[in-house]
A and B are shown apart, each in its own frame.
Chain A
Amino acid sequence: MKIHNRRLAGLAAVALAASMALTACGSDSDGGEGASGDGGGTYTFIPKNLGNPYFDTSNAGGEKAIGEFGGEYEQVGPATGDDPAGQVTYINTATQQGRSALIVSANDPDALCDAIGEAMDADIPVVTYDADTNPDCRDIFVSQADAAGIAQAQVDLIADQIGDSGEIAFLSAAANATNQNEWIDLMTAEFEANHPDITVVDTVYGDDDDQKSFDATAALLQTHPDLAGIISPTTVGIAAAARYLSTSDAKGEVKLTGLGTPNQMREYVEDGTVDAFALWNPADLGYLAAYTANALATGEIEGEGDSFTAGDLGDYTVGADNVVLLGDPFVFDADNIGDFDF
């Protein structure tokens, strides 16, 4: 019964898709001047949730890209960020509407696969961005950053801020956080290899808890009176550390950088506690995801090894596991932080 229904739905979707595609061909003759071909088409962004400033920013980037290649932009999604079932509904609807491509930030690596599979069966390319599904159930994942790039950006920032010499410490999330540990290992190796005058004296953990990170920062300053800088590769940690530093004697003396979001850090960049910090630019991420979806929809790319041009961002090549990497993290400082709201 269930299979029967699903098959029916699939058929209906295919039929709809076909008719929509035909009408789209008819109406959208004046495509954009985008570098990636004919353009046109209808693109649906399904973020983890609506009303989330981060996705508002990234989807605005997507809308801009779609405007450039003359497509039609739509954004739908659940109200909360832990609702894969809600996303499934929107994916099914978009499939039935026969959109040109779906751009999804997955709330769950597995739960969306059936729905995404149906869309792909109906020849609708599915691009994931920000949060991936299992690699075998989508076409392409547009990744915001890779570990090496993230590590390098933070090392460069702190080395620049402390004059390439002195003691630094890490304020991490949890001791068992895989990505944090990977970044910290990469950064430590980079310091040893290319920054001989910088010594890593400590790694402390704030468990991504405001209060604990705050207290851990205080303890770091007590324990290491000669500390020159702190790297906190976690958004909670860097905000808590900045809050502590901004009200302590060490403000401006001890440099702080890491990964943070502009809204969290604005206050501390403006009051001089923090010079600069890194994160990817979500607007660029959405922009690239839209161009990737367009390149898939127009058949310009199919998978690993293919190249395309993503508007202002330049040329990209699809990498292993069908991943497109956005590039190096974006550095936020006093000059540009006012341009962001997420």
Chain B
Amino acid sequence: MSAATPSRDGSSLGAAVGALLKSREVAVAVVLVLLIAATTLKSDAFLFSSTGWRDLLLTPSMLVLLAVGQTAVIITRNVDLSVGSTLGLTAYLTGRLFIDTSLPIILVVLAAVLMGAVLGLVNGVLVAWGRVPALVITLGTMYIYRGAFLTWAGSDRINAGDMPRAFRDLGTDSILGIPVLTIVAVVVLAAVGYYLHTARGGREFYAIGSDPDAAHLYGLRISRRIMAAFVLSGALAGLAGAVSAARFGTVSSSVGTGIEFEAVGAAVIGGVAIFGGSGTVWGAALGAFLLVTINRSLPVLGISDFWQQAVVGALIVGAITLDRVLVRRQEKKLVAARDDAGSSHAGPPTREPVVATTAPGSPGASAPGDTSSPTDPQEGTR
């Protein structure tokens, strides 16, 4: 949505709006902190025991990886439902490589990432060139990949004893009190976040998601970007597969079932607009952190299993509602700002004014400006 653009041009108005925009990430972070605080009051081991501290940081790392990939895809106004199956397949590949070959750990992990990327490429090619909605394509590949996994693995499962101890230790080891897998997730998050925020290619993701037609008219290579998003999502699902194998120590053919919806949920809770064009991986990562931590703390707070799903659902609905409220409030502010500035255009307060404040501010001065300005005018009409 238009919300993503004005804050990044660094103008004084942008800075003011930026504070408001950031509130989504801040809001999720505040809820997260409150949740951790409440749970810790109930049972101080939740935060202060060494296992509690480790689990707090470690448990979300897998979902963070998926949510980051999912965010890149959703920003381009697509969705990737096949990540759960991809995760399962690559987790099994990881185990199989340890059983059947003597490849070093790093190569096995790379193989998992590579396989995930290839599976993502299949999605990307079908979506970008098949011109079929990603929802349908990835729903199809979700079943195809899961079916391939079932055929490959059958009733076989990878057990802890099948994988080298050094690999499994990666699932629990810490460096300076921070679990290794959390560090991996944070590094990925930072790299993707930096790319999406600053690089030209990253900004094009937003432009495409804001308005594919305008992006096309402007001459952006849409197919290539969409494919890149799916390859990234697949590769991160592949990495998450290796992470899953290391952390849980077993791989059965049900691994990763349903986690694609958690990844989408995390992104939505973190403020990524489901129709593309807006949102940050930071938000999605915080959303993932919150989702996982809710599931871990509700039992400690004495809320029964049966309510946990409902709470997560309420959170997603709440996040979307909050989204609308924030966008509307921001529109009003922008309209007010425009009226104060004495701009003309007495039309109904659509989102058009956003463009009026953005485009003159940075015409091609920075990467964000140059991709968003031509696409935004179309957006008010959506």
Chain A residue at minimum C-beta to C-beta distance from B244: A211
B295 touches A264 (CB 8 A): no
Given the contacts A204-B299, A222-B46, A225-B43, A81 and B305 also touching, CB distance less than 8 Å: no
Q: Cβ of A243 < 8 Å from any Cβ of B?
A: yes
- A192 vs B154: C-alpha distance when bound (angstroms): 41
Stretch of B25-33, B116-124, B250-258 that contacts chain A: B250-258
> In the complex, what distance in Å separates the CA atom of A325 from the CA atom of B296?
41
The closest CB in chain A to the CB of B45 belongs to: A222
A49, B151: Cα distance in complex, Å = 13
Knowing A52-B155, A175-B305, A211-B244, say if A223 contacts B250 (CB, 8 Å): no
Question: Counting CB contacts under 8 A, is A268 at the interface?
Answer: yes
- Cross-chain contact B51 with A248 (CB below 8 angstroms): yes
The answer to the question of B52 belonging to the interface, with a C-beta cut-off of 8 Å to chain A, is: yes
Interface of chain A residues 200 through 242 with chain B (CB within 8 A): 204-205, 208-211, 214-216, 218-223, 225, 236, 239-240
Question: Which secondary structure dominates chain A's binding surface?
Answer: helix
Nearest CB in chain A: distance from B366 CB, A: 42
Picked from B49, B155, B254, the residue with its CB within 8 Å of the CB of A208 is B254
In the complex the two chains form, is B299's CB within 8 Å of A250's CB? Answer: no
Min distance, Cβ B363 to any Cβ of chain A, angstroms:
49
Residues of chain A contacted by B171 (CB below 8 angstroms): 247
Chain A residues whose CB sits within 8 angstroms of the CB of B157 once the complex forms: 264
Q: Which residues of chain B come closer than 8 Å to A181, judged between CB atoms?
A: none
The answer on a CB contact under 8 Å between A240 and B161 is no
Q: Give the number of residues in A that approach B within 8 Å (Cβ atoms).
A: 37
Contacts of B125 in A (CB 8 A): none
Category for how many chain B residues contact A: 35 or more
Q: How far is the CB of B70 from chain A (nearest CB, A)?
A: 17
Kindly state the separation between the CA atoms of A204 and B157 in the bound complex, as whole angstroms.
24
Interchain pairs with CB closer than 8 A, number: 92
Contact, CB under 8 Å: A266 / B305: no
Q: State whether A223 touches B244 (Cβ < 8 A).
A: no
* Set of chain A residues within 8 Å of B244, measured between Cβ atoms: 211
**Which of A175, A210, A216, A225 neighbours the largest number of chain B CB atoms within 10 Å of its CB?**
A210
Please tell me if the beta carbons of A222 and B299 are within 8 angstroms of each other in the complex: yes
CB contact list, A136-177 vs B, under 8 A: 175
What are some 25 contacts across the A-B interface (CB < 8 A)?
A51-B156, A52-B156, A80-B154, A81-B154, A81-B155, A175-B306, A208-B254, A211-B248, A211-B255, A214-B248, A215-B59, A215-B295, A215-B296, A218-B296, A221-B45, A222-B296, A222-B299, A222-B300, A223-B299, A225-B45, A239-B159, A239-B250, A240-B250, A263-B161, A266-B161
Please give the residue numbers on chain B whose beta carbons come within 8 Å of chain A beta carbons, in ascending order: 43, 45-46, 49-52, 55, 59, 151, 154-157, 159-161, 171-172, 244, 248-252, 254-255, 257, 259, 295-296, 299-300, 302, 305-306
